[in-house]
Amino acid sequence: MKRMDTLGKLRVLGAAARHDASCAAGALKSRSGQGKSPAFPGIYISWTDDGRRVPLLKVLYTNRCAYDCAYCANRASADVPRVSFTPRELADLAAALHRRGSIAGLFLSSAVHRGPDHTMREMIEALRLLRQEKGFTDYVHVKALPGADPALVREAALLADRVSVNIELPSPESLRFLAPQKDRRSLLGPMRELAAGIAEYRMEIREDRGRGPRRHPFAPAGQSTQLIVGASPDSDLCILRLTEGLYRRYGLRRVYYSAYVRVNDDPRLPPLTAPPLLRERRLYQADWLLRRYGFRADELLDEGSPFLDEELDPKAAWALRNLHLFPVEVNAAERHVLLRVPGIGARTAERILEARRCHSLGFEDLAGVGVDMKRARHFVTCRGRCLHSREPSPEELRRDLRTAFADSEESEGAQLSLWGNTRWPARDADAASCLTGEM
């Protein structure tokens, strides 16, 4: 059989990375949810928070896989051409693309060839060559494979800025059903190892305060994971409870959600005709509320209604279910209370607190400090006054919020279509703010 050259491998493994919703980053999706081909194989464009364009080499190390996850284009039973880089090929390729300015970072994932340890060793060798021999100092995000030896996970973290282990399916039952070679233990083990290493690294930096020799960075951009949305019957509540636990227990920097794209004909998979992008979007909004606004998963959803409202953002939906907590007096409410008002985001809450120090606020001041009055007007009072003459019914409120929300979603649409893994996972800043905006 004719050996494939590096460019040929890049074509296969760059395209394979696009579809890999588990071991690799999620697919780059156009607004319609269809995959979008990069201009050069394997190079995808991301953006930093401040709008800089960042080309990344996003590629699998190999698409030869010993596992057979039902939803994956690279699963063992799929009839696709199989190729692998060698460590040197991958390092040479990334260094050459970097030298000529085609990429500013590497996103390296892989299928599981001959077991997780074998593949991890090869990926680590590729990164070692890239970092130490080629002098590559830009951003590297590498996947840790499920079930990999903890020592290898640590080695990878010493060479990468960010490491991630993709959990993919939110419940143990779905894992057993759709990805029988993986289980919670093999996924959480590497995650736990990374969490411990990152905590040690941060503590040493704090204690050292620049006095001792500089410690080698250990995944300085933290760890993340990805969950597939819609490949299994798991509810949003199940997904958000898991997300909450991951942030709390393992200090994850981000959980990414990837709307399931049907690439295999498998009777175990749901017959979706289009990826559930709206659901993915609501989960990102809810995730933002968990991380930044002090909400808990069980406040946003419950067993009786375990899916997020498709028509409203999760904060507005929560407010409608908790009308007894409103209206809130803008001139007296504490920050965490203001943050729960639809139409008041984190920046706006800060501006309100700041302005309140000088004078009490009237309705005429609220738009000026950034309050979205279309959403907030029924939920606040100013100097004890309401904006409406009679209390609106819950149905009227819902209708109003839906209209206000539809307007803002339309204007955010272009950005949101590029949500998720196509964003540059910045070291310290958080790309999410660009997309969710203030809620």
Binding site for ligand SF4 (CB under 6 A): 22-23, 65, 67-69, 72, 74-75, 111-112, 179
Q: CA-CA distance, 221 to 203, in Å (whole number)?
A: 15
Strand partners, 45: 55
Q: How far apart are the first and last CA of the chain?
A: 57
Strand partners, 229: 259
**Of the two residues 146 and 343, which places its CB atom closer to ligand SF4 in the complex?**
146
**Of the two residues 115 and 306, which places its CB atom closer to ligand SF4 in the complex?**
115
Instruction: Residue 421: name the closest of 21, 1, 5 by CA.
Output: 21
CB of 426 vs ligand SF4, minimal distance in Å: 26
CB of 239 vs ligand SF4, minimal distance in Å: 18
Instruction: Residue 230: name the closest of 64, 26, 413 by CA.
Output: 26
CA torsion sign, 409 to 414 to 416 to 417?
positive
Task: Give the position of tokens 């000026």.
Answer: 368
The region, left, alpha or beta by phi > 0 then psi within -120 to 50, assigned to residue 368 is: alpha
CB of 16 vs ligand SF4, minimal distance in Å: 8
CB of 154 vs ligand SF4, minimal distance in Å: 21
**Of the two residues 179 and 289, which places its CB atom closer to ligand SF4 in the complex?**
179
CB of 179 vs ligand SF4, minimal distance in Å: 6
- Residues whose CB is less than 8 angstroms from the CB of residue 268 and which lie 6 or more positions away in sequence, other chains included: 70, 177, 178
**Of the two residues 179 and 352, which places its CB atom closer to ligand SF4 in the complex?**
179
CB of 111 vs ligand SF4, minimal distance in Å: 4
Q: CA-CA distance, 341 to 316, in Å (whole number)?
A: 8
Strand partners, 55: 45
**Of the two residues 22 and 348, which places its CB atom closer to ligand SF4 in the complex?**
22
**Of the two residues 118 and 398, which places its CB atom closer to ligand SF4 in the complex?**
118
CB of 24 vs ligand SF4, minimal distance in Å: 8
Cβ-count burial 270-304 (b if 16+ within 10 Å, e if not): eeeeebbbebbbbbbbbbbbbbbbebebebbbeee
**Of the two residues 60 and 439, which places its CB atom closer to ligand SF4 in the complex?**
60
**Of the two residues 28 and 431, which places its CB atom closer to ligand SF4 in the complex?**
28
CB of 26 vs ligand SF4, minimal distance in Å: 12
Strand partners, 225: 255
